[in-house]
Amino acid sequence: MTDLILHNYPQSHFAEKIRRLLAYKRVAWHSVEQPFMMPKPELVPLTGGVRRIPVLQVGADIYCDTRLIARKLEAWYPTPVCIPPDQAGLIGIIESWAGSVLMFQALLPTFEALLPYLPPEFLVDRAGMSPGLSREAILAGAPQALAQVRLSLAQLDLRLAVSPFLLGDAFTLADASCFFPLWLFKNSPALFANIEAHPRVADWFARIEGFGPGEVTPMAAQEALAVARAASPATGAPRATVSVEGLELGQQVAIAADDYGVEESRGTLVVLDADEIAITRDDATLGALAVHFPRSGYRITRL
Ligand SMILES: N[C@@H](CCC(=O)N[C@@H](CS)C(=O)NCC(=O)O)C(=O)O
């Protein structure tokens, strides 16, 4: 299979979810470092609008959102297993909770701890993604979020009394999903002490960190763009394996996240599956691209 190119940046916690899966699966990948705020002139031409990190590129196919990226990695590299079929439903539910509830519980205290070091433009950029986010909102919300994350840590601790990983003896996507929000606490020893207060959670955290950085080689963004330019989308003939009222292959659609960071990508609908949608679009300099999204958490609008 063509090389995996992950567009990410070191501090991205959502990217860390995917980096843990890649390290566990021992899959080699190229890392393109993207800016941590707009503008992203070497990312947006690939997605057609979406700015959120991480983005996985395979040739001229662009995969947005960790929910889809995790499932693609599982399909392409099935061993070691990270989504056992009999636990796939439960994993999806845990992943949703971790990527929203646990993530915001951990994010606010982390932002609070980092406030003195963040460039002023950073909060303006993030307020553009999450209206209402401000220095005042962070200071007001952080104590309650920290109290809640402590309750979540206690729940994880109870579960880890049963088995070394959340669903048993082996690491799964459920572990990667709960690990990455807590990984934010590595930004502050005072916050990390909340993890250390639960030795079983701290051991689990250390086990997952122990997978190491993985088989990663840096790649320049321009090189990744050249890869996209030289390739063609691998989506093949348009396919719909489910029917969704109001949607048909070949329609012009806009796809955007339904939570925050709602920049949209527009194109022709070419894949409509139970858990994936894809559009093709022509970029003026890169040519034909396919941009793939999970259906979960995304809104599809007919143009
Ligand atoms: N649901 C998305 C969320 C991704 C997300 O929020 N990523 C953050 C970085 S960790 C982001 O894009 N922040 C704004 C930016 O990097 O420009 C996913 O699972 O990939």
Point out the domain boundary residue: 209, 241, 260: 209
Average pLDDT on 141-164 reads 98
Under the banding of pLDDT at 50, 70 and 90, the label for residue 2 is low
Q: Is residue 17 in contact with ligand 1, taking CB distance under 6 Å?
A: no
Taking CA atoms, 45 is separated from 69, 125, 237, 251, 283, in Å, by: 19, 19, 23, 21, 7
Range of the domain at 262: 5-79+216-302
Give the model confidence (pLDDT) of 247-284 as tens digits: 999 999 999 999 999 899 999 999 999 999 999 999 99
pLDDT exceeds 70 at position 25: yes
Average pLDDT on 147-168 reads 98
* Closest atom of ligand 1 relative to the 38 alpha carbon: 17
Test site for ligand 1: of 6, 12, 37, 255, most ligand atoms within 8 A of the Cβ: 12
Q: What's the CA gap between 128 and 72, in Å, rounded?
A: 30
Point out the domain boundary residue: 177, 209, 241: 209
Shared domain for 226 and 192, answered yes or no, is no
Indicate the number of domains in the chain. 2
**Spatial CA neighbour of 66 closest among 181, 204, 228, 200:** 181
**Spatial CA neighbour of 279 closest among 48, 3, 5:** 48
Point out the domain boundary residue: 209, 225, 247: 209
User: What's the whole-model pTM score?
Assistant: 0.98
CATH number for position 69 = 3.40.30.110
Q: What's the CA gap between 93 and 63, in Å, rounded?
A: 21
Q: How many whole angstroms from 108 Cα to the centroid of ligand 1?
A: 15
Shared domain for 125 and 150, answered yes or no, is yes
Quote the mean pLDDT of the chain. Answer: 97
CATH number for position 201 = 1.20.1050.10
Give the residues across from 5 on adjacent strands: 30, 57
Closest-CA residue, ligand 1 atom 12, reads: 52
**Residues ≥6 apart with Cβ < 8 Å to 86:** none
